[in-house]
Structure 1
Amino acid sequence: MTPSAQTARPLAGRVVAVAGATGTAGHATVRRLATAGATVACAGTDARRLDLLLDATRRAVPGATVVGQVLDLLDPQAAGDWADHIEAEHGSVDGLIHLVGGWRGSKKFTDTDLSDWDFLHDQLVRTLQHTSLAFHDALLRSPAGRFAIVSATAAARPTAGNAAYAAAKAAAEAWTLALADSFRGLAAARADTDPELSQQHAAAAILVIKALVTPEMRAAKPNAKFAGYTDVADLAETVADLWNRPATELNGQHLWLTPR
């Protein structure tokens, strides 16, 4: 590959899995990764929405290598099989971007419906647990393994009507930081036995937003300011940039895409 081609396609040769790929941020993220040259393996729960995503990406990025699989990531076996399939099919897994989302809330704290917590725990926490456990070892085997979730300012600053959502996001952050500690600790353990293996290659990071805004949302409300919102294109750019940062500097970090 020529230097100019490497510049245009910096992720050529990388294999990146995107969980929750058909959601709000999925289209922009998958397209950006494909444009950068990555092979993108997408998972979603709706076959029609997944087909639309794949078709739109292939039209926008001629020659893109993008595949999809309908999965229920609440099933740990399905998550494990997905990770194994990607590595067997493509030779490696260099990234897992967890975009599975959802929101439930209330007007007042005392109006909180705890069934909202059950829903958010499954969507934001349980799918994260299953995918991170499934992909952990493959990301360690990669020369540049990257893992990222999208969190929210609510995790650090919960509001009265946002209790279930904020608690789920905080739990997701804690889980991701534990994953980061695993990457860090295993690199240190390798260094004790073989100094040549001391370099850390895998990293887990947390992308923090207030909320996301899409071009469709802006078109529907042209006079709205969407103050503090993060454009899905900016989120996608941050995801693609994860491989430009050293693992030791990225691991366990909060990357803020909105004012603190």
Structure 2
Amino acid sequence: MTENVNGNGGPLEGAVIAVAGAAGPAGRAVLLRLAEAGATVVGADADAERLAEAVDAARYAHGGATVTGDTVDLLDPAATREWADKTEQEFGRVDGVVHLVGGWRGSSDFASTDLADWALLEKLLIRTVQHTSLAFHEALKRSDRGRYVLVSQSGAAKPTEGNAAYAASKAAAEAWTLALADSFRKAGGDEGPKAAAAILVIKALVHDAMRAERPNAKFAGFTDVKDLADAIAGVWQQPAQEVNGQRLWLTPKP
């Protein structure tokens, strides 16, 4: 294991974790949480300005933490692989990928579904999972604690008529991630997997700015981005055999 440049003795000390879609509210929370836990964190996003702000916030909050950002088009498989290779070459290892690339489109009912929504969501919610998982697959297998963490949504298990494109995209991303988990299972052989692919299932996310905008809203069943970040960090605290191929529910099952 490479020397931890953070040196704070946290539970993820020495780990190198890539975060795809790091510039949004969830990404900011995850960068902060992983840095706090001692990981070297490498964020990627298509929005360079917002990514720089998220990286700076994590660095400022945890002095001495190594948090970097790369502007990457995750819809480009070659660019994604280049990011993965660069990360492993620079830091000597990759111990995790957290997939936070999101997006939503919906309609009032099934008949009103616009297939242009599917065209967009297929790129954001499926292609980025495909590209990141394929790009980092071998590095995660080489790690002694590799984790691939997908954040999914409860609608994938029980779609509503106005969310056909979104739910189908999420379901496809889950299936892809479970196939990755099977790869890790087979690679582990009789000793069990060293790496794991897990799915965290939420209803929706909420953060402080949303609460400030809607002070009377209850956000029932929503997961705070800080709680999501805690759950993501916790995936490394569980044995690979226990989390590999599992859906870990952060909201009641529908």
Higher alpha-carbon deviation: 215-224 or 146-155: 215-224
Tell me the secondary structure at the aligned position of residue 236 of structure 2: helix
Structure 1 vs Structure 2 CA RMSD: 1.3
Corresponding residue of 1:39 = 40
In the superposition, the TM-score normalised over structure 1's length comes to 0.93
In structure 1, the gaps of 5 or more residues are 192-197
**CA offset digits 1:98-125 (Å, max 9, x no partner):** 0000000010111111010010000000
CA offset at residue 94 of structure 1? 0.2
Matched, 1:228 2:229: no
Higher alpha-carbon deviation: 219-228 or 29-38: 219-228
Corresponding residue of 2:133 = 132
Matched, 1:215 2:216: no
CA distance in 1, matches of 2:215, 2:47: 30
Corresponding residue of 1:111 = 112
CA distance in 2, matches of 1:160, 1:200: 38
Matched, 1:144 2:137: no
Tell me the secondary structure at the aligned position of residue 25 of structure 2: coil
In the superposition, the TM-score normalised over structure 2's length comes to 0.95
Please give the residue correspondences for 1:1-260 in structure 2 after superposition, counting only pairs within 5 Å.
9-188=10-189, 191=190, 198-260=191-253
CA offset at residue 224 of structure 1? 1.0
Tell me the secondary structure at the aligned position of residue 19 of structure 2: strand
Total equivalences in the alignment: 248
Q: Which amino acid aligns with 2:39?
A: A
Tell me the secondary structure at the aligned position of residue 12 of structure 1: coil
Q: Which amino acid aligns with 2:37?
A: A
CA contact (8 A) 2:12 2:34 kept: yes
CA distance in 1, matches of 2:163, 2:17: 32
Q: Are the structure 2 counterparts of residues 109 and 85 from structure 1 closer, same or farther at C-alpha, using a change threshold of 3 Å?
A: same
CA distance in 2, matches of 1:206, 1:116: 23
Name segments (4+ residues, structure 1) moved above 3 Å: none
**CA offset digits 1:168-215 (Å, max 9, x no partner):** 000000000000000001111xx4xxxxxx342100000000000001
Tell me the secondary structure at the aligned position of residue 217 of structure 2: coil
Determine what percentage of the aligned residue pairs are the same residue: 62
CA distance in 2, matches of 1:47, 1:153: 30
Tell me the secondary structure at the aligned position of residue 199 of structure 2: strand
